């Protein structure tokens, strides 16, 4: 509909233009003979002037220049090799730090800028400079591909260091391609790191001020946060939840019967759903006649775990139990780890599940 309307508008405009030209022609035809003669004479003079300045006197714009500039060729090779070095620097920064986006951007951007500069210098001072007039002919000619191949082969005329430039271009291309592919290594978790925590047999429990925990410090009905002695508290596997339950309430899996001496239990403080800190503790103070029992709850999405059953998931979006750490009481009464966690610490979307330790 719109196209048809536009076509009618264009047709109307063309018709109006033709009518105006016809009117001007009629008016010119009705002028005095003398005026018409003057116009005719002027036209003949103008045509004579045009005839005098015909194609024979016009300057031919076609030209072909072979630079043959070894200095420019060396500059192009140097720019390409510098671009390769910056691409390698991008890979090095990515492997060493992996987080410094300023250095990563500067290295890769500088590499691409140097490749662009090399292309500009090569286009201006290395390859053949030619201005040609191309006549329009048949759209598809069988000889056209052969002429294109010949033109491309002639473009390298005058280049004395073709091998150097070719090698530099290959090195720069390989380096930039490797730099572009290197970030693929950051896809997904580093599986060797997520299986490691500061907790192993013999590590003592401390509070946030570095004071060592003794078994007598952990009381029934209270919740404590513990950290590994001498380790980085910022690591995802460092913080623990420590609590004590009456031993009669414990229903741990058979492989973990000795993990809670005197009813002292330790679990990762990191919720296996989305890595929030599990910080809510429900401990019934009196029998309610229902199924109430001690429970740990994550305040983010309310995943709820049962410490008496080894961190079993009771409710919520977490996909697995809360990882448990075996507890050891040394001869001096201090709390120590008797080993590592039964499962990997961290959110379940990291796909960190592994068989339970026995």
Q: How do strand 223-228 and strand 295-297 relate by DSSP bridges?
A: unpaired
The predicted structure's pLDDT at residue 356: 45
Among 41, 78, 33, 264, CA closest to 172: 78
Q: Are 257 and 251 in contact (CB under 8 A)?
A: no
| pLDDT above 70 coverage of the chain, percent | 68
3-state secondary structure of 1: coil
Mean pLDDT, the chain, integer: 78
Neighbouring residues of 351: CB distance < 8 A, sequence distance ≥ 6: 189
Lowest average pLDDT, out of 75-84, 86-95, 190-199, 321-330, goes to 190-199
The predicted structure's pLDDT at residue 2: 47
Q: Please give the Cα distance from 293 to 172 (Å, whole number).
A: 66
The tens digit of pLDDT for each residue in 29-85 reads 554 444 444 444 444 444 444 444 445 456 777 887 877 788 888 888 899 899 999
- pLDDT bin (cut points 50, 70, 90) of residue 6 is very low
- pLDDT bin (cut points 50, 70, 90) of residue 349 is low
Among 235, 242, 244, CA closest to 205: 242
How many C-beta atoms lie closer than 10 Å to residue 102's C-beta? 8
pLDDT at 305 over 70: yes
Kindly state the tokens that stand for 169. Answer: 């271009």
- pLDDT bin (cut points 50, 70, 90) of residue 250 is very high
Among 256, 265, 275, CA closest to 226: 265
What one-character DSSP code corresponds to residue 220? B
The predicted structure's pLDDT at residue 276: 92
Q: Please give the Cα distance from 89 to 230 (Å, whole number).
A: 35
The tens digit of pLDDT for each residue in 203-227 reads 999 999 999 999 999 999 999 999 9
CA trace torsion 141, 143, 146, 151 (10° rounding): -80
Lowest average pLDDT, out of 47-61, 67-81, 283-297, 313-327, goes to 47-61
Q: Are 259 and 308 in contact (CB under 8 A)?
A: no
pLDDT at 182 over 90: no
pLDDT at 154 over 80: no
Among 325, 330, 286, 278, CA closest to 305: 278
Neighbouring residues of 284: CB distance < 8 A, sequence distance ≥ 6: 292, 293, 294
Highest mean pLDDT among 149-153, 189-193, 238-242: 238-242
Among the residues of the chain, which ranges form H helices? 2-29, 33-52, 70-96, 101-125, 144-154, 162-181, 191-194
- pLDDT bin (cut points 50, 70, 90) of residue 186 is low
Model pTM above 0.75:
no
The predicted structure's pLDDT at residue 141: 65
**What mean pLDDT do residues 298-324 have?**
92
The tens digit of pLDDT for each residue in 92-120 reads 888 887 667 888 888 889 999 999 998 89
Kindly state the tokens that stand for 143. Answer: 């000889």
The predicted structure's pLDDT at residue 59: 77
Neighbouring residues of 224: CB distance < 8 A, sequence distance ≥ 6: 207, 213, 217, 218, 241, 242, 243
The predicted structure's pLDDT at residue 67: 77
Q: Please give the Cα distance from 310 to 325 (Å, whole number).
A: 10
Among the residues of 182-237, which ranges form H helices? 191-194
Q: Are 325 and 337 in contact (CB under 8 A)?
A: yes
Distances, alpha carbon 139 to alpha carbons 135, 142, 144, 151, in Å: 11, 10, 10, 18
């Amino acid at each position: 509909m719109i196209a048809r309307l536009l076509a009618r508008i264009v047709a109307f405009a063309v018709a109006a233009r033709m009518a105006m030209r016809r009117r001007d022609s009629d008016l010119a035809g009705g002028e005095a003979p003398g005026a018409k003669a003057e116009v005719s004479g002027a036209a003949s003079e103008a045509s004579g002037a045009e005839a005098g300045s015909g194609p024979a006197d016009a300057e031919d714009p076609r030209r072909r220049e072979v630079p043959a500039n070894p200095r420019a060729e060396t500059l192009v090779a140097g720019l390409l090799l510098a671009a390769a070095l910056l691409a390698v620097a991008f890979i090095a920064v990515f492997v060493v730090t992996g987080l410094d986006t300023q250095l990563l951007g500067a290295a890769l951007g500088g590499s691409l800028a140097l490749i662009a500069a090399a292309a500009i210098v090569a286009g201006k001072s290395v390859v053949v400079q030619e201005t040609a007039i191309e006549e329009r002919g048949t759209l598809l000619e069988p000889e056209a591909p052969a002429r294109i191949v010949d033109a491309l082969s002639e473009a390298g005329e005058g280049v004395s260091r073709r091998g150097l430039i070719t090698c530099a271009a290959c090195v720069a291309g390989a380096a930039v391609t490797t730099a572009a592919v290197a970030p693929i290594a950051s896809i997904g978790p580093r599986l060797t790191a997520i299986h490691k925590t500061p907790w192993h047999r013999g590590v003592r429990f401390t509070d946030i001020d570095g004071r060592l925990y003794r078994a007598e410090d952990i009381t029934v009905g209270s919740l404590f946060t513990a950290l590994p002695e001498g380790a980085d508290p910022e690591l995802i596997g460092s913080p623990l939840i420590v609590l004590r339950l009456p031993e009669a309430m414990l229903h741990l899996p058979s492989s973990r019967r000795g993990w809670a001496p005197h009813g002292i239990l330790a679990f990762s403080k990191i919720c296996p759903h989305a890595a929030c800190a599990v910080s809510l503790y429900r401990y019934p103070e009196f029998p309610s006649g229902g199924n109430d029992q001690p429970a740990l709850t994550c305040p983010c999405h309310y995943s709820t775990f049962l410490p008496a059953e080894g961190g079993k998931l009771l409710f919520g979006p977490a996909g697995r139990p809360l990882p448990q750490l075996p507890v050891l009481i040394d001869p001096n009464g201090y709390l120590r780890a008797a080993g590592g966690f039964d499962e990997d610490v961290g959110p379940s979307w990291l796909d960190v599940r592994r068989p339970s330790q026995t």
